[in-house]
Amino acid sequence: MSYLSEYQDSINNPDKYWQNHAEKIHWFKFPESILSKSKQGHYRWFEGGELNTCYLALDQHVLRGRGDQLALIYDSPVTNSKRSFTYNELLEQVSHFAGVLANLGIEKGDRVVIYMPMVPEAVIAMLASARLGAIHSVVFGGFASNELAIRIDDAKPKIIISSTCGIEFKNIIPYKPLLDAAIESALHKPDHTIILKRPQENCELIDGRDHDWEDCMSQASRHNIVPVKSTDPLYILYTSGTTGKPKGIVRDNGGHAVSLNYSMDAIYDISPGDVYWAASDVGWVVGHSYIVYAPLIRGCTTILFEGKPVRTPDPGSFWRVIEEYNVKTFFTAPTAFRAIKKEDADGKFIEKYNLSTLESVFLAGERLDPPTYKWLSDLLDCPVIDHWWQTETGWPICSNMLGTELKKIKMGSATVPVPGFDVQILNKHGRRVKSSETGSIVIKLPLPPGCLPTLWNDNERYESSYLSSFPGYYLTGDGGYIDNDGYVFVMGRTDDVINVAGHRLSTGEMEELIGSHRAVAECAVVGVADQLKGQVPAGFVVLKDGFSLQNEDLVTDLIMIIRNNIGAVANFKQIAILKRLPKTRSGKILRKSIRALADQGQTEIPSTIDDPTVIEEIKLVLKKLQIGMAFHN
């Protein structure tokens, strides 16, 4: 079936379409209804069905005689260690750890917070929680104690699972002091913690509360599957909120399993036994969906990588993993390749490795800028595919679908909507715009299976954040347009469109132009306040290695790129050359923080930032160049 007929089927007959795909996973009880509405009037998928996500990820493959296949490969250049687990071995570990949790009182519906580094035990803890019907909430390892405390108070876990430390490059980050401080400041107190002791860092355990992972495992026995309802939550994953309080995204079991299994086939063209690698972290949605659940539900081999794209030990780390484990499909964020490009602009390291098994590279998490796409596609002999999705959706909204119909790639576009997602562009009055006109990207309800049904204990915020702006539509918060061929162009968050003397201009377009310069490794453009024009754009640029930070001709070149392509109306005159940009730990550029620094001279340091010291560095550059400082000198 062609993409177009698949897509039209999913929009015109969603019940029948998703029933067909629900029949492709194992249910203990098949759903009584495919699409229905809750008491609050929200759409729900597969009500009346019973299943277990851990069973789908492990037990079913063992029962089908594939227990000796590799399920999980752990590769840790930061500790110089590797481990692997067959489906038999991973099931043994998970079922025993489910026994550990049950011995400590965990039952269906209880919450389990997981605060761990990228180690196999994090995956084991997630799957063991799912096995019992408990609801896990993974918090990115190394998050500040106050941020962990906020999540503890919201989720109210019975148990927190953690480790003695995480490792960033060569730096040891002790977790136990952060965990202790979080529990002390939180109003809710967990009954127990379980601590995985790593050789790099020890800790003291608190009698009665803290338990050693290995001791617990030695005393536990295997625990069987606990069936859950399709609409029961599998996990809570917190994402940033505009109020400062994180939003607890809820993922249900049934819709999640159906959509992820579907996506592995239709989008990624992955079959059981293939090796799939998502270079992300289990603390983010990519880690949940495409390190842990989707590859295992599909019966693949998945890779857990405790390292970075550079300096572990060099810019060839990704290529080494792809060659060593015969990776078929690779998924990461564009920022990872920009880091590699900065240190290896000519792609010398890729020449050292045999990448013949690699059939596709997918990128998401932020917009794939055309310069990075071109650099990467010139190096590789496989499709490089930009696709777009959100923590809220849990799987791709738009993509070039390898398993359905590979379409022509247009740089800057995430290609077309995935079946089930009725993507539209609306103006501020809620009316659909013409082809290629920009506006708010929305998705007409119902959202397909796997998307958030609500926020944890905050249905009112769910409605105000996502459903109230345009009734009948889900608000993505991103702006963009759809061209004449139906290709979706996501230009950035809606607040990244700036108004220069009445002219609405896209900072995403400016970033695309600046990023095309041969000296630019990565960049951000933000609108800063201006007394005369309201806002003017300012560029923040990181150069590739080997280019001078003091090159005045380079600054002139970048200004002229905008002037020649957009015009003098953009009023683009301000450029700061930086050593690095402020980013979240998942690699997203913190444009809002840059804008606040320029407009106000200060900003709250986000809890998600990878290195807070970069804020002070940017302050100094802004003052030196007098960018945006007119209002607070």
Q: Would you place residue 512 in the very low, low, confident or very high pLDDT band (cuts 50, 70, 90)?
A: confident
pLDDT in tens, 173-196: 999 999 999 999 999 999 999 999
Considering only residues 411 and 366, tell me which one the structure prediction assigns the higher pLDDT.
411
pLDDT in tens, 85-97: 999 999 999 999 9
Reduced to 3 states (helix: H, G, I; strand: E, B; else coil), residue 15 is: helix
Residues 6+ apart with CB under 8 A from 208: none
pLDDT at 244 over 60: no
Mean of pLDDT over the chain: 92
Q: Which amino acid belongs to residue 304? A: L
> CA 56, 129, 228, 149 torsion: positive or negative?
negative
pLDDT in tens, 438-497: 999 999 999 999 999 999 999 999 999 999 999 999 999 989 999 999 999 997 776 666
Query: What is residue 33's predicted lDDT score, i.e. its pLDDT?
Result: 98
Q: What percent of the chain has pLDDT over 90?
A: 72
What's the whole-model pTM score? 0.85
Give me the mean pLDDT over the 276-288 stretch.
95
Q: What percent of the chain has pLDDT over 70?
A: 96
Q: Please tell me the distance from the alpha carbon of residue 134 to that of residue 12, in angstroms, as a whole number.
A: 35
pLDDT at 215 over 60: yes
Give me the mean pLDDT over the 236-245 stretch.
73
Q: DSSP characters for 449-481?
A: TTS---BTT-HHHHIIIIISSSTTEEEEEEEEE
pLDDT in tens, 67-125: 999 999 999 999 999 999 999 999 999 999 999 999 999 999 999 999 999 999 999 99
- Assigned token pair, 21: 């795909």
Average the pLDDT over each of 283-287, 305-309, 618-622, 625-629 and give the range with the smallest value: 625-629
User: How distant, in Å, are the alpha carbons of 151, 453, 544, 614 from that of 589?
Assistant: 23, 28, 17, 12
Residue 331: how many other CB atoms lie within 10 Å: 23
DSSP state of 349: G
Query: What is residue 602's predicted lDDT score, i.e. its pLDDT?
Result: 83
Q: Closest by alpha carbon to 166, among 157, 182, 178? A: 178
Considering only residues 284 and 90, tell me which one the structure prediction assigns the higher pLDDT.
90
Query: What is residue 549's predicted lDDT score, i.e. its pLDDT?
Result: 56
Q: Closest by alpha carbon to 261, among 207, 298, 230, 233? A: 298
Query: What is residue 546's predicted lDDT score, i.e. its pLDDT?
Result: 83
Three-class SS of 550-613: CCHHHHHHHHHHHHHHCCHHHCCCEEEEECCCCEECCCCECHHHHHHHHHHCCCCCCCCECCCH
Give me the mean pLDDT over the 384-404 stretch.
96
Long-range Cβ contact pairs of 494-498 (< 8 A, separation 24 or more): 494/440, 495/592, 496/526, 496/527, 496/591, 497/438, 498/526, 498/527, 498/535, 498/536, 498/537
Q: Would you place residue 551 in the very low, low, confident or very high pLDDT band (cuts 50, 70, 90)?
A: low
Query: What is residue 632's predicted lDDT score, i.e. its pLDDT?
Result: 44
Query: What is residue 282's predicted lDDT score, i.e. its pLDDT?
Result: 95
pLDDT at 268 over 60: yes
Residues 6+ apart with CB under 8 A from 425: 432, 433, 437, 438, 439, 440, 441, 442, 480, 481, 482
Q: Would you place residue 633 in the very low, low, confident or very high pLDDT band (cuts 50, 70, 90)?
A: very low
Q: Please tell me the distance from the alpha carbon of residue 451 to that of residue 541, in angstroms, as a whole number.
A: 35
Q: Would you place residue 630 in the very low, low, confident or very high pLDDT band (cuts 50, 70, 90)?
A: very low
Which domains does the chain carry? Answer: 501-625 (3.30.300.30)
Considering only residues 176 and 555, tell me which one the structure prediction assigns the higher pLDDT.
176
Query: What is residue 563's predicted lDDT score, i.e. its pLDDT?
Result: 82
Q: Are strands 50-51 and 228-229 parallel, antiparallel or unpaired?
A: antiparallel
pLDDT at 167 over 70: yes
Considering only residues 146 and 379, tell me which one the structure prediction assigns the higher pLDDT.
379
Query: What is residue 496's predicted lDDT score, i.e. its pLDDT?
Result: 63
Query: What is residue 502's predicted lDDT score, i.e. its pLDDT?
Result: 53
